[in-house]
Amino acid sequence: MSDMDLFKNDVKQWLEENCPHSLRTPTPENELVWGGKNVNFVTQDMRDWFERMRDKRWFCPGWPSEYGGGGLSATEVNILEKEMLRMRCRPPQINLGIWMLGPVLLKYGTEEQKKRLLLPMTQGEVRWCQGFSEPNAGSDLANIRTSAVDMGDHFLVNGSKIWTSYGDKSDWMYALVRTDNNASKHAGISLLALDMASAGVTPKTIDLISGKSTFCEVFFDNVKVPKDNLIGDVNGGWPLAKLLLQHERSAMSKFGEFSLPNHFHLKTFVNDYMPKPHTVSETILHARTVVCDMEERIFNLTVQRMGEEARSGKDVFPTMSIMKYAHSEQEKVKFELLLDVMGYRALGWQLDGCANDSFSEQELSVTRGWLNSFTQTIAGGSSEVQLNVIAKRVLNLPDSKAGSSVKKVTTS
Ligand SMILES: Cc1cc2nc3c(=O)[nH]c(=O)nc-3n(C[C@H](O)[C@H](O)[C@H](O)COP(=O)(O)OP(=O)(O)OC[C@H]3O[C@@H](n4cnc5c(N)ncnc54)[C@H](O)[C@@H]3O)c2cc1C
């Protein structure tokens, strides 16, 4: 038996013994475990699973052990992920720090920063949020205006961010700031790690159509950020931002694989609501379901193939935009189909704190899921922007013609 076969057996046995059976199911939104100072466990099983994975150092299995990672090789990480997927183990915690900032710190952080910032991530102790977008800097991200002025031993930060997911619940933010107003817009940007408990930081939640508020505006009023929280060089933040965004897209496109097990399984839904097609329109719905199901399988196989390519050393990063685009657009189609299949049964709406016994838990999540599917075509760079990035960076097509009315995209 090869070393990898032995490793696989160990992984299987460990997961079998340590992942509670109640957590081998898709994760409902209210049961997502966000790491951080105020981590919340709905059940004891969730706490156990979190602590066991943390102690095993498998929150970040592939990171070097000196920074709290598991020190596994790419092949071993692959085996672990596949086994978790096969057993349908829930992710023990969700943490933007691990998905996005961690890989950037590993590449660009100082030794001191790696020890100070990565270690708490691997323990699930700090919840991070992303401070990139501003009112006039979304697709055109390099247009950010939030300023950080060099004051000797610290930067003084003023301005505001918008659409900061869970800004009110996060402990730290990685933020893009302008450190040079005279340089060209890409050249005057830096990346800072910012403690959300600093004086002068005010998050304000934004109400959403879904009835939930996951977004914040975050205001900075003379916020002091120590110099050693600068990641990379002063004015050198843009390449780091691009790398970070690629990791964001990669994480988003993998949601269906292992990041967030998919809550909505088409076949189950369709069988429950439309066991046998009787009319022409039901037959058409069935045909749409088959197409949707096939596309989902194709997508998952492609993600797996790209994972294998990445692990064998191929640079698959530019193609993450394709996956992000395909996945988010596919989710939209899927939810539209669910609404059509379920009819009025999809229209249940749970208000916080109110019982709603007329609809099942699944039925109550469909309309919210449908509304949420639109947001995924915007978060991490809109679909139109992804198409531009694909045209430029993957297909190497020329820029839009001079004089074209289409604004130049600078997101990545
Ligand atoms: C669910 C969700 C979570 C988010 N979380 C965060 C977060 O945590 N932190 C953060 O910093 N930001 C976050 N965002 C913000 C997100 O990054 C921006 O909304 C996104 O980049 C688009 O920017 P915008 O909203 O300013 O739209 P705009 O850039 O104003 O775009 C408006 C429309 O114009 C289109 N468009 C713009 N430029 C072009 C072009 N050149 N060619 C073709 N079409 C174009 C866009 O596709 C879009 O349809 C989140 C957004 C969502 C929806």
Ligand 1 centroid to Cα of residue 287, in Å, is 33
Backbone angles phi, psi at 165, to 5 degrees: -65, 130
Q: How far is the CA of 254 from the centre of ligand 1 (A)?
A: 20
Percentage of the chain modeled with pLDDT above 90 = 56
Report yes or no: 73 and 79 within 8 Å, Cβ to Cβ: no
Other residues' Cβ atoms within 10 Å of the Cβ of residue 30:
7
pLDDT score, position 348:
80
Whether the per-residue pLDDT at 270 is higher than 90: the answer is no
Angle, helices 3-18/74-86, rounded to nearest 10 degrees: 40
Q: Cβ(367)–Cβ(348) under 8 Å?
A: yes
User: What pLDDT score was predicted for residue 113?
Assistant: 97
The string of DSSP codes covering 366-406 is: HHHHHHHHHHHTTTTS-HHHHHHHIIIIIS-PPPPPTT-SS
The least confident of 33-42, 156-165, 362-371 is: 362-371
Residue whose structure tokens are 């269906």: 256
Give the alpha-carbon dihedral of 26, 304, 249, 323, to 10 degrees: -110
**Which phi and psi (to 5°) does residue 62 adopt?**
-95, -5
The predicted pLDDT at position 175 comes to 98
Work out the average pLDDT over 143-156. Answer: 97
Selected residue with higher pLDDT from 324 and 175: 175
Residue with the bigger pLDDT between 6 and 380: it is 6
388 lines ligand 1 (CB under 6 A): yes
* Ligand 1 site, residue 166, Cβ cutoff 6 A: no
In this structure, the residue with its CA closest to atom 5 of ligand 1 is 165
Sequential DSSP letters for 168-212: TT-SEEEEEEE--SSS-TTTTEEEEEEETTSTTEEEEEE--TTS-
CA of 97 to the centre of ligand 1 (A): 21
- d(CA 117, CA 97) in angstroms, rounded, equals 9
Q: What span, in angstroms and rounded, lies between the C-alpha atoms of 295 and 61?
A: 30
Question: How far is Cα 259 from Cα 250, in angstroms, rounded to an integer?
Answer: 10
Segment 277-300 mean pLDDT: 87
SS3 of residue 219 by DSSP: strand
260 pLDDT above the threshold of 60? no
SS3 156: strand
Report, as an integer, the average pLDDT of 348-375. 78
- Among the atoms of ligand 1, which is closest to the Cα of residue 411? 21
Q: Is the pLDDT of residue 382 over 50?
A: yes
Indicate if ligand 1 lies below 6 Å from the C-beta of 406.
Answer: yes
**218 near 205, Cβ under 8 Å?**
no
Q: Which H or E run contains 163? A: strand 154-165
3-state SS, residue 159: strand
Indicate whether residue 165 lines ligand 1 (CB < 6 A).
yes
The model's confidence at residue 409, banded by pLDDT at 50, 70 and 90, is: very low
Residue 363 CA from chain centroid, whole number: 25
Contacts of 351 (CB under 8 A, 6+ apart): 211
pLDDT of residue 210: 65
Atom of ligand 1 nearest to the CA of 166: 8
Q: What is the pLDDT of residues 211-226, one digit of tens each?
A: 677 899 999 999 999 9
pLDDT(308) > 90: no
Question: How far from chain centre, in Å, is Cα 32?
Answer: 13
pLDDT at 11 over 80: yes
* Res. 257 pLDDT band, cuts 50 70 90: very low
Ligand 1 center to residue 240 CA distance, Å? 19
Which of 78-82, 192-196, 254-258 shows the highest mean pLDDT? 192-196
**Over the chain, what is the mean pLDDT?**
88
The length of the chain, given as a count of residues? 412
Q: pLDDT by residue (tens digit) across 102-127?
A: 999 999 999 999 999 999 999 999 99
* Residue 200 clears pLDDT 60, i.e. is over it: yes
* pLDDT over 60 (residue 405): no
The string of pLDDT tens digits covering residues 21-64 is 999 977 777 888 999 999 999 999 999 999 999 999 999 999 99
Cross-strand pairs, 193 = 174
- The CA-based angle 74-76-79, given to 5 degrees, is 110
Sign of CA dihedral 193, 242, 178, 176: negative
Does residue 364 or residue 338 have the better pLDDT?
Answer: 338
161 versus 1: which is more confidently predicted? 161
Cα angle value 312/315/320 (rounded, 5°) = 115
Tell me: pLDDT of 133 over 60.
Answer: yes
Determine the 3-state secondary structure of 270 from DSSP.
Answer: helix
Cα-based distances in Å from 278 to 286, 292, 342: 10, 20, 15
**Protein residue with least CA distance to atom 4, ligand 1:** 379
pLDDT above 60 for 410: no
What distance in angstroms lies between residue 136's CA and the mean position of ligand 1's atoms? 10
The CA 53 to ligand 1 mean position distance, Å, reads 34
pLDDT band at 256 (very low <50, low <70, confident <90, very high): very low
Can you give the pLDDT at residue 150?
97
Question: Phi, psi at residue 84, to the nearest 5°?
Answer: -60, -40
All domains in the chain, ordered by first residue:
3-122 (1.10.540.10), 128-231 (2.40.110.10), 242-394 (1.20.140.10)
Tokens at residue 326, please? 């395909």
pLDDT of 403 above 60: no
Is the separation of the CB atoms in 376 and 368 below 8 Å? no
pLDDT of the residue at 164: 97
The burial of 8, by beta-carbon neighbours within 10 Å (0-12 exposed, 13-18 middle, 19 or more buried), is given as middle
